[in-house]
Amino acid sequence: MPLKFGLELVPSTTVSELVDLAALAEELGLDTVWITDHYNNRNVYIALTSIALRTNRIFLGPGVTNPYVINPAWTASAIASLDEVSGGRALLGIGAGDRATLEKLSIEWRTPLKAVEESVTVIRRLLKGEAVDFYGEFIKVRGAKLNYKPLHEIPIYIGAQAPRMLKLAASIGDGVLINASSPKDYEQAVGIIREAAGDIFNKLDIVAYTCFSIDKDRNEARKAALPIVAFIVAGAPGNALERHGISIEKAQVVASAISRGDFKTAFSNVTEEMLQAFSIYGTPSECADSLSKLIKLGVTHIVFGSPIGRRKKEALKTIAEEVIPLFK
């Protein structure tokens, strides 16, 4: 599978800013653009549609939506519409959703594995144009059918980090979006996927959905990564901290500062260990070294995720000029 490069955009800025960045990514030769999905940001499908109308080649999709907030039949309809609007360029990223966000909406995070598995089954069948009868534990559908079909078979990518979700992703996904940045995490995740996928492993698109920060000045790249890493540390489960040798106490200092809105304390308590564990940051050659480790472990698609750099447009140009050519 040829190596692909993509861009993650968080719609916390205006849709027109997202469109400009996605159009630049296309111009610079990137292959995919993924828009994150949280109800409190700009709506993911409005952002994607706007991008589709300003671009011609780049593939695009939600990275990732979830079946708790959005009914899977609605997702099938939205992604099929995006495929039509974009002339056959839609990708679907779907995952179990984010616990903290679901809590705010009083949505219970029950049976996440079943929720993803059943939703993907229903979405695939709807996209094929079938009238779907499905009586699962999470979703029940009675004769649901779309009145139109997408232009192409839309690849479904599963957002996964934990072992059982990775196994599920390997068996039902066309690709896996792994939200991690360190080789330690990829060694484990790709091992699980490889074992679960067996003969079809080489057909899977293994996506490194990274926290990435590049700058010719290493210290600027580091500064831009700090806030994002602080939030990752605050939400990281104990086993992830342990795997990276990060003390729970130090992580708690960051987490409690964030929860009381004291970002200065939070960011100043992010250690080098935390940055190494949860981001790829540095000069172009340092970033390229880190990426090559992930590629050696079996990653087939790199997504440059937030913050990307101090100034996103400049960072994208640096990536296109000084990083991607090293892998072509």
Binding site for ligand F42 (CB under 6 A): 36-38, 63-64, 66, 95-98, 101, 110-114, 159-165, 177-179, 209
Of 206 and 291, CB closest to ligand F42 = 206
In the block, which residue shows the tokens 């580091």? 222
Closer CB to ligand F42, 229 or 257, in the complex: 229
User: Nearest approach, Cβ of 134 to ligand F42 (angstroms)?
Assistant: 18
Pick the closest to residue 232 from 243, 221, 224, 240 (CA basis). Answer: 240
C-alpha dihedral over 88, 59, 159, 193, to 10 degrees?
A: 90
CB of 321 to ligand F42, least distance (A): 27
Is 65 or 77 the residue whose CB approaches ligand F42 more closely? 65
Provide, rounded to whole angstroms, the least separation between the CB of residue 280 and ligand F42.
Answer: 15
Are 229 and 279 spatial neighbours (Cβ–Cβ below 8 Å)? yes
Q: How far apart are CA 263 and CA 258, in angstroms?
A: 6
What count of other Cβ atoms lies within 10 Å of the Cβ of residue 301? 22
Among 20, 87, 32, which residue's Cα sits nearest to residue 63?
Answer: 32
Would you say 170 or 224 has its CB closer to ligand F42?
Answer: 170
Q: What angle do CA 241, 244, 249 make, to 5 degrees?
A: 40
In the complex, minimum distance from the CB of residue 239 to ligand F42, in angstroms, rounded to a whole number: 10
14 or 285: CB nearest ligand F42? 14
* Residue given tokens 């072992």 in the structure block: 163
CB of 293 to ligand F42, least distance (A): 19
In 3-state terms, what secondary structure has residue 227?
Answer: helix
